Structure 1
Amino acid sequence: MKSASSNHRTAAWKPLALVSALATLTFPAVAQVESGQQLAPVTVSASRFQSTEAPIGATVITAEQIREAGIGNVNQAIRKIGGVYGRQDLNGASDFVLDLRGFGGASENNMVVMVDGIRISENEQASTLMSSIPIESVERIEIVRGGSSVLYGQGATGGTIQIITKRGVKGTHGSLFAEVGNRNSKEVRASLSKGWDGFSINANVGALQTDNYRDRNALKQENFSGGMQWASDQGRIGMRIDASHQKFDLPGGITWEQFLQNPRQAKDLSNFGSIDSTLYTLFGERRFGNWELAADLSYRERQGDYFSPTYQSTYDGRSSQFSPRARHILKTGNLVNEFVIGLDIGKSGRNTIDTFSGSAKASQDAQALYVRDEIRFGKSRIAAGVRHEIFNQSSRGANIYDRKISLNAWDLQGSYDLSAVASFFAKVGRSYRIANVDDNSGTSTGLPLNPQTSNDLEVGATLGNEAKKLTAKLFQHKLKNEIYYDLLSPPCFGTFCGANINLDPTKHEGIEIEANARLTQEFTVSGILRHVKAKFTEGPYAGKEMTLIPKNTATLRLNWLPGNGQSANVGVQWIDSQRYAGDSNNACSTKIPSFATLDARYSIRVGTWEFAVTGTNLADKNYFSQAFGACRDTASIYPDAGRVVKFSARKDF
């Protein structure tokens, strides 16, 4: 049941959203360029400072690609354009569970998601609320696959996703968006910004509701994002507020026979929940000759409630982070040396109350120092970095512990341009992940888990230019104490078992291929292939495949842009079969079946208006990507959505 404090929090940010939106009528927007003038490409993830150099081996999604594809949210852009495999969120939200490097059920905790350098991925076993980020505010998205713990700390073994927002334009600008579709799907969004003389303010509001595909799986979500800043040639200072409220029904998992009879049916008729999340951020940057100083201070509150006839729980979490850093750039002839040093100081805590365990409190403090140096000379780039981080964890409730952990990460990266159309790159390093509050609360022994470590290796090459480009990467992650939820481990309640454990040594390795080409002036095509093998290398399961990890995934997209106001795109994604979540011993002869989905969009611009029709899973394929159990006949299956068709209108001003 929704608590009074949650209702108060939800009600509190709605007036704030209205005030901030109205304030944009009298205060300015973020950019320092004239209307219509293109901003220079900006990245921040290569060294946690603004740079025109993209991270080595990164996949970059631009705002232009997002608009051409008619993408409605950040998570969708990462899946459709970035080719990242995603599984349907169990809440029915648009925040699919993303998997960068084949980590299955633990994928969300093996990657770090940031907005303008601020970490927004959770310190719990929870999906990152990327749907709260207004898609209209996104300038580009950088996907860096592979170990990134030097700059971003724990949980970055699979990689990082960096969302970089626009600086806006001079004057007053905005957009209005409305969309309707089948299954009572409705969404509205509005954005407005205004700026002058270096001072700016902007606001984005949005709301959506849908009955979703399955019975008893309705979703309502409201978002607000707003901020202001003052900028000059020497730096900037500003603040942001991002808030989201979700309310959803939970239909539960069904059996294989029920899936064949009617995949839309619900098992649970009275289960529901809600999530409130608010993030406050202060940021500042200042240049002093060859030195640049920057700092981010963030505070986040997150509350969740879950209700069923037999079980109720609520949690109240909060986290804060302070990240001061400094960069020195030295230019000598054709050599550029970039030196970065920084601190990450974090504190998080969570209070929980549930029917079975009563009340519990857990907290974590972390202090990290990192150093990175990159040299660029001629056609070469070489970067090296180290990180040392200390964690203090404590828990009171069903689990009681106090412990201190010290971890180190390092990496060495390099790239070389053989010619204008050929280059190669390599990365080697060590990354880590620490068990979070949920990991430690659900162990089979009642004791906290050991940290997970990974030795990471990647080599790759790029051929071609912007007209035709092919990038191939070979990667390998050798892990010790991988943190995973194992459905074969005790304790057991009836026929159900499961606990968070440290696995015996494992290895994730494979190849990724990205290609894009301009076929004609009007048509472009892009494709992404991934092959991954994730297996145990030691212990009783040595040689066995890991669960919920498809060996192969493929995405192919065709875009049509004739330049007359019309546009269209069509995409196909194919996902290979994968083992059921509880089949760690590979004893089951059946797997989650492979599937392919088809989506398409057509739009036409009339003046400042754009009208579009969008369809997903157009073949109305019955399939699922989440199934918990050892085998098909004993698994709890969560079907993915059938055909969805939506009509939208957008006005820019």
Structure 2
Amino acid sequence: MKKRFYIAGLILASSLSMGQDKVVKLEESVITSENTETTIADIPKNITVLTGEEITQRGAKTVAEALKLVSSVIVKEMGGADAAFDIRGQGPTAKSNVIVLVDGAPINSIDLSGYQTSNIPVDNIERIEVIPSGGSVLYGDGAVGGTINIVTKAPENKKNYGSLNSEIGSYGLKKQQITYGTKIGEKLLVEVDYLKKEKDGYRDYSKDDLQSFGFRSRYKLNDGELKFKYNYSKNDFKAPGALTKDEVNEDRTQSNPNAWRIDGKTEKNNFVGDYLYNINSDLEFKLLGRYAHENYSSNGSNYKTEVKYLKPQLKYSYLDENYVVFGGDIYQGETRDFAYGNGKSEKNSLGGFIINSSTIEKFRFTQGYRRQNIEYKGDRFVTRKFKEDAIELTGSYLYSDWDLHM
């Protein structure tokens, strides 16, 4: 099968070629860097796609462990808290300069403190897409370092199917998962799953337990489709405090009861809806919506967060392999701190963007512009309103139609 790729990709592949050949099938990896399905070869960006199969084969148990397999991402462990993902050497500001998405909807916190990925079951991940220095036009503030899109599995087009898995491993790992899916009529696909995982850490006073329930549906329309996903998760965790040098030499697995230790719980409900309507052969309308409600408690802290997100867009295809995308997004987030005076923090955002992709012979160019109005207010913020502009100019040369081997 013929594949197109860029000169930069060829140089990188040549430097990494060794051992067993692995065919990189660029046109089989569907990505969503512009909130629309396309292939890696058709996007002039340095995109890495990590499939669910690769995650399973490498034994990754969390999103953080999975992203350690991606060379462009530096995973920074946070001493019991959720890991930070550093792209392009953002350093201490990594969490506020990388946007993490689940099925195209951002999950970053409203106070720029980052994201929580420990309560996302890796067994339900279809693929993870990593786009360094890409996403500011499409997703707005927070994408200076790059974008990570976690795409969860969709129901299969089968009448009845399912699986029952049980796993026992080191550090007290016990995991059970059951999945069942079915096809109702000719248009509706449904899948449900339940996961329970218990795991201790390397050191005393370490725990990472997860319970998750998921519901996924896909309804085929005459000129499009409607997807709906719901996930409930509950994560109980503990992390030991720091040790002195003498304590490490004595027993590095111990926990110092006098040191600051983490003991917390996160409970989250996440709803995502995705509507696609093909108005005609050249015009496509897409609407993405997310609602999330989260409770977080740890060491006396008690937060409740509510997020609403809506993203409509139109894609118009003109001439051959040329298209333009018009869209916008509305974000409303609120966090209440019930432990310290019932404080409240809010973030409200309204953005609009346009992206144009054109092809001239073997040259492909993308131009994008975004304007976003953002407001932070509440007890934890000094009320602030500002406008943000983002511009994107990229180009690539489609060097060949060969297959790429690594």
TM-score calculated relative to the size of structure 2: 0.84
Change (3 A) 1:44 1:81: closer
**2:283 equivalent among 287, 291, 306:** 291
Q: CA deviation at 1:72?
A: 3.8
**1:377 equivalent among 360, 364, 372:** 360
Q: Does residue 1:272 correspond to 2:263, yes or no? A: yes
Superposed CA deviations along residues 493-552 of structure 1, whole A, max 9, x for unmatched, are xxxxxxxxxxxxxxxxxxxxxxxx2xxxxxxxxxxxxxxxxxxxxxxxxxxxxxxxxxxx
SS in 2 for 1:76: helix
Q: Which amino acid aligns with 1:277?
A: K
**2:272 equivalent among 281, 286, 298:** 281
Taking the aligned partners of 2:238 and 2:33, their CA distance within structure 1 comes to 40
Q: Does residue 1:340 correspond to 2:325, yes or no? A: yes
Which runs of 5 or more residues in structure 1 are unaligned?
Answer: 1-39, 422-464, 468-516, 518-653
Change (3 A) 1:41 1:195: farther
Superposed CA deviations along residues 237-266 of structure 1, whole A, max 9, x for unmatched, are 132111211112232222344334332222
SS in 1 for 2:95: helix
Contact 1:133 1:225 in 2 (8 A): no
Taking the aligned partners of 1:164 and 1:393, their CA distance within structure 2 comes to 29
Q: CA deviation at 1:414?
A: 0.8
Name the counterpart of 1:387: 370
Taking the aligned partners of 1:245 and 1:206, their CA distance within structure 2 comes to 10
Name the counterpart of 1:173: 161
Q: CA deviation at 1:105?
A: 3.0
Contact 1:141 1:161 in 2 (8 A): yes
Contact 1:44 1:117 in 2 (8 A): no
Q: Does residue 1:210 correspond to 2:210, yes or no? A: no
Q: CA deviation at 1:113?
A: 1.5
Taking the aligned partners of 1:274 and 1:157, their CA distance within structure 2 comes to 30
Taking the aligned partners of 1:48 and 1:71, their CA distance within structure 2 comes to 27
Name the counterpart of 1:513: none
Q: Which amino acid aligns with 1:211?
A: D
Q: Does residue 1:222 correspond to 2:217, yes or no? A: no
Contact 1:146 1:158 in 2 (8 A): yes
Contact 2:48 2:70 in 1 (8 A): no
Q: Which amino acid aligns with 2:306?
A: R
Name the counterpart of 1:402: 383
Q: Which amino acid aligns with 2:220?
A: A
Q: Which amino acid aligns with 2:177?
A: R
Relative contact order: is structure 1 or structure 2 higher (C-alpha 8 Å, sep ≥ 6)?
Answer: 2
Taking the aligned partners of 2:381 and 2:394, their CA distance within structure 1 comes to 41
SS in 2 for 1:96: strand
Name the counterpart of 2:22: none
Change (3 A) 1:264 1:282: same
Q: Which amino acid aligns with 1:338?
A: Y
Aligned residues: 373
Taking the aligned partners of 2:91 and 2:193, their CA distance within structure 1 comes to 34
Equivalences for residues 124-523 of structure 1 within 5 A:
124=111, 128-167=115-154, 168-196=156-184, 197-232=186-221, 234-268=223-257, 271-289=262-280, 290-307=282-299, 312-331=300-319, 335-354=320-339, 357-396=340-379, 399=380, 401-420=382-401, 465-467=403-405, 517=406
Contact 2:72 2:88 in 1 (8 A): no
Superposed CA deviations along residues 420-460 of structure 1, whole A, max 9, x for unmatched, are 46xxxxxxxxxxxxxxxxxxxxxxxxxxxxxxxxxxxxxxx
Change (3 A) 1:44 1:137: same
The sequence identity of aligned pairs, in percent, is 24
Q: CA deviation at 1:286?
A: 0.1
Q: CA deviation at 1:148?
A: 2.2
Taking the aligned partners of 1:69 and 1:265, their CA distance within structure 2 comes to 29
Change (3 A) 1:378 1:134: farther
Q: Does residue 1:77 correspond to 2:66, yes or no? A: yes
Contact 1:239 1:282 in 2 (8 A): yes
SS in 1 for 2:277: strand
Q: CA deviation at 1:326?
A: 0.7
SS in 2 for 1:80: coil
Which runs of 5 or more residues in structure 2 are unaligned?
Answer: 1-26
Contact 2:358 2:366 in 1 (8 A): yes
Taking the aligned partners of 1:279 and 1:215, their CA distance within structure 2 comes to 32
Change (3 A) 1:171 1:132: farther
Taking the aligned partners of 2:53 and 2:83, their CA distance within structure 1 comes to 23
Superposed CA deviations along residues 252-298 of structure 1, whole A, max 9, x for unmatched, are 22234433433222234675111111111222110011110011121
Superposed CA deviations along residues 560-585 of structure 1, whole A, max 9, x for unmatched, are xxxxxxxxxxxxxxxxxxxxxxxxxx
Name the counterpart of 1:48: 35
Change (3 A) 1:161 1:175: same
Q: CA deviation at 1:97?
A: 2.6
Q: CA deviation at 1:214?
A: 1.4
Name the counterpart of 2:50: 61
TM-score calculated relative to the size of structure 1: 0.54
Q: CA RMSD in A?
A: 2.4
Superposed CA deviations along residues 213-235 of structure 1, whole A, max 9, x for unmatched, are 11112222111221222114521
Contact 2:164 2:177 in 1 (8 A): yes
Q: CA deviation at 1:42?
A: 5.8
Change (3 A) 1:169 1:136: farther
Change (3 A) 1:241 1:323: same
SS in 1 for 2:94: helix
Taking the aligned partners of 1:347 and 1:388, their CA distance within structure 2 comes to 17
Change (3 A) 1:255 1:224: same
Structure with bigger gyration radius: 1
Q: Which amino acid aligns with 1:414?
A: G
